[in-house]
Structure 1
Amino acid sequence: MRKMKYIVLLGLILSLSACNKWLDVEPLGQVDAEKMFEDEKGCLQTLTGTYILLTSQEAYGEELTLGYVDEIVRYWNKIGKAYDFDYKDATLVGRFNGTWGKMYEAIANVNLLLQNLKDSDKGKFENYDLIKGEALGLRAYVHLDLLRLFGPVLKEGLNQKSIPYREEFSNELVTFMTAEEVLGKIEKDLLEAYTLLSDDPIKEYGRKANKNLDNKDLAFQFRGVRMNYYAVCGTLARFYQLKGNNSEALKYAQEIIDAKEIFQLLKRDDIMDSRGPNLMFERELIWALHDEKIESKMGYQLYSSYKYNIDLPTRGFIYETNGYGSVEDYRRVYWWQEVKLSTTYWILGKYARTYESNTAGGTVTRKDITVWEKLLPMIRLSEIYYIAAEANLETNAPETYRLLNEVRVSRNLTPLPEDLKNNKVVLAEQIMYEYMKEFWGEGKLFYEYKRQYRDIITREGNIRASRALFELPIPDSELEHGGN
């Protein structure tokens, strides 16, 4: 292999307990590629660097959770031009471009690893399949989100040019592929990852795999906050739902739902403990990014500048008005904290715990925030239930009804009325309403509106679906050089 010097982004993924480290890594710098990948530690460091990139503010550290994807669907009070869909605004264009660049930077990091794994002797890596499967899963996941952001509405544009699918670590131009071609590449990577991760230690250790396992290889550590076997299943379920393949979407969703010894829907006792409310609903996370710097990034935007805020009628519209809602919904009760300044705001409390005994009614000030949930949700169990519910709708509506009610009951809502059990139209609407209630501050609702190509529901009235609304602009520089 040609000797080269690469800038390899290294970092730390810490455990959910602040005192444990996943990897002891050397400082950021230039590392000879042959030396870097001569053992498993170098491979794992490169994976860690990828996760660090994905937690940047341009990616899931803000924009793809709280940021413009949630602004577009009008979750927040007006912040900037995304609220008005002014996609030509220079500031907003810069934000889109930042996401595009950071996501492809993460893909490049994964491709560097995969390229060196391909050129290495498989026998010298005890956990070769685990590492490669994780890398392929990450590459597919990031490309899928890029397609869902910048690609065409698939109901009308399957054969249109969409994005590049990068499979090599190089500076060579990659031409844009059709959406159908990109979907084919994503499917190939995910299915290979699914096979490679068939013996993932998360199957044996379950939620314990979120913590430091004594006397286990580094590749076994913190599987619950990485692209593990079930994260690949979840991505496959999401992928096949996007393609409209209900049977395959249900197959992979059901595999997660059936893993009840590992993943369970929320229970009331999960919310409260000695440290205050656990609002992340952690037991439902299929996988998440661990962000050690969340307080200075997302935390500042939420709890210091109050950039992302709502008014009380908006909360009522989402949780009480739509979809057989209730003021007792745990999400309504616990996720929202009141801030009284010159104006009264409500801010999302999902990412931090407080010592307030009643966070729903108390005024929250900065000093009250004590414990940060340093997790950025990527796939959670409730979404898997919604995917399975939709996949069953045409052939087994009562099962759709049952699955929706399982999530509703876990959120302290009453089951849907019995006479809706076979009402496909109403059940489909209920799935959308549950998406609206569930994914505030997680960046998921935009994708659901775009996939269905349906009007955005707001308190002021619905916003008509259009390709101009849902197809975010690709950076001009990319179109000039690779979009032919």
Structure 2
Amino acid sequence: MKKIIYIALCLIGFSGCDNWLDVSASDQIKESQLFENGNGFRSALLGIYQNLSTEDLYGKNMTWGFMDCLGQLYDPKAITLNGGELVQAQNYAFEHSAVKPVITKIWESMYNCIANCNNVITNIEHASPSIFEYKEEEKNMILGEALALRGFMHFDLLRLFAPAPKAGASGTYIPYCTSYPEIRSPKLSVDDFLKLVIEDLEKAQDLTAKFDTLPDNIKAIQDAFYRVGKANYFQERGIFWSYRGTRMNYMNVTALLARVYMYSGQIDKAYEEAKYLLDFEGLEYPSYSSSYDGNSKSREDIILAFFNKNVTEIFKPWTGENGYLKIRNVEDLFEGETTDRRYSKMTTEIAKGTRISAKYVGYEDPSKERDNGPLIPVIRKAEMYYIACEYFLQHKKVDEAKALLAELREERGNGKPLPELSESQFIETMLLDARRELMSEGQLFFLYKYYNLPIWDGKTNPAITAKFVLPVPASENI
């Protein structure tokens, strides 16, 4: 996988609302050259993935850093590094001088990547299939991935900068950008925005299915060794066609649709997509404890991961004496259930009384680091369990939800029976399971936001009241 060469496409400046998508004459010349053949579209697409994997986005801020601080994953007393950036994030001090630049970076970087997606989409829709090595098949795949990326990024922006539907969102919040070049787009309501997210993802699902679900191709997303491992399934075609789990494909677009449908209140549709993935051949949990050695991210059940070979180095400063990302009340969280492999294999004790997520701790063994280190999990199978549980809850089937959650716990090596639970107790139990499962992946904040609940802080401490809507950077109001 180290052989992948990413070429960043950075044609677009981002310097304020009136010129944020302006393109100079010289840049237009570069674009005409870039998109004159299929290789240019490949480079542009891979550049977007590279930018998403940086520290400003999913290489830190949108996963184990800023987002998991908003989700109250860490002990605030242990986080002291870097001028209090993450401490203040856990305090929801969005106007603090250490936090405002992080929010601005997320906003600017995401909309910059969206603009690059729109550039690809605009050009490829008018491109002849003849300029691509694999003709219509390649054109469809690139267009499908670009549409999926656009929907994916817009959705995460919505979850950050607008209220959740359950909270009674009634205003207009942020723009959904679909054209290039574009000076500005209107702010939309949450409902109208979600319709556009779903529209992009449904189109992407249809387009990626034309490649990923072919009988000769489906193994590339079924087998984790090919999906996120080190094997190139399409050797005759080259690297661009392989490692489909680190790119938008039919399977993870389906998962994203399940995520978006649930958030938008369409739980029956969410369950339909989630159930497909729960039954999907090859999307498995490691069966034995030894399978987790050198595999703290549990590759086999990852549906989508981005890729940054330096991410463990980015994480490393937060594992030293100047700042531990110590898991908050970890012993309360696991309640002595140390057979749960999310405790024994996916966390690690780096000092007495200090246990951190092992997902970004580097391996001394180069082969293990190469296989595991660069992956940035974005969505995994467990989330499909939680979505299916929510479906059963909304249909007043608590026992079915309980059985499904018990199945997930057993897959992770925890066979302890669940007690009798009311609907509200079940939600609390499921959210605690998600804290075990999704630590370092940036999803905890969004789950609590969906349920509009205060965030757990141990057995005896009062729950933490979160601020679920971030302020749009003042200089970028549209």
Partner of 1:445: 444
1:203: how far off?
2.1
CA distance in 1, matches of 2:31, 2:71: 43
Query: Does 1:118 find its partner at 2:125?
Result: yes
* Residue pair 1:22, 1:221 contacting (<8 A) in 2 also: no
1:327: how far off?
2.4
CA distance in 1, matches of 2:74, 2:464: 18
1:182: how far off?
0.9
1:250: how far off?
0.4
Query: Does 1:266 find its partner at 2:271?
Result: no
Partner of 2:106: 99
1:47: how far off?
1.1
Partner of 2:65: 67
Q: How does 1:106-255 map to 2 (within 5 A)?
A: 106-125=113-132, 126=135, 127-201=138-212, 203-205=218-220, 206-207=222-223, 208-210=226-228, 211-212=231-232, 213-216=234-237, 219-255=240-276
Deviates more, 1:63-72 or 1:235-244: 63-72
TM value normalised by structure 2: 0.84
Partner of 1:409: 410
TM value normalised by structure 1: 0.83
Match of 1:301 among 301, 304, 317: 317
Question: What secondary structure does 2:394 align onto?
Answer: coil
Partner of 1:383: 383
Match of 1:333 among 335, 339, 344: 344
Structure 2 unaligned spans of 5+: 12-26, 80-86
* Residue pair 1:72, 1:446 contacting (<8 A) in 2 also: yes
1:257: how far off?
1.3
Q: Write the deviation string for residues 123-163 of structure 1: whole angstroms up to 9, x where unpaired.
A: 54321111111110010001100000111232234331121
Q: How does 1:285-296 map to 2 (within 5 A)?
A: 285-296=302-313
Number of residue pairs the alignment of both structures matches:
435
1:252: how far off?
0.6
Please provide the CA RMSD for this pair: 2.6
Q: 1:326 to 1:295 in 2, by over 3 A?
A: closer
CA distance in 2, matches of 1:28, 1:99: 16
Deviates more, 1:102-111 or 1:158-167: 158-167
Question: What secondary structure does 1:346 align onto?
Answer: strand
Question: What secondary structure does 2:300 align onto?
Answer: helix
Q: 1:214 to 1:391 in 2, by over 3 A?
A: same
CA distance in 1, matches of 2:419, 2:457: 28
Q: 1:270 to 1:222 in 2, by over 3 A?
A: farther
Match of 2:329 among 314, 331, 353: 314
Structure 1 unaligned spans of 5+: 1-14, 357-366
1:305: how far off?
6.3
Q: Write the deviation string for residues 382-438 of structure 1: whole angstroms up to 9, x where unpaired.
A: 111111121122334333222212210011111534755xx4343333221211111
Q: 1:157 to 1:97 in 2, by over 3 A?
A: farther
CA distance in 2, matches of 1:370, 1:22: 16
CA distance in 2, matches of 1:138, 1:88: 29
Q: Write the deviation string for residues 41-97 of structure 1: whole angstroms up to 9, x where unpaired.
A: 211111111011111212111111122221123211223211222121121011111
Partner of 1:43: 41
CA distance in 2, matches of 1:425, 1:295: 38
CA distance in 1, matches of 2:41, 2:9: 15
Query: Does 1:278 find its partner at 2:295?
Result: yes
Partner of 2:393: 393
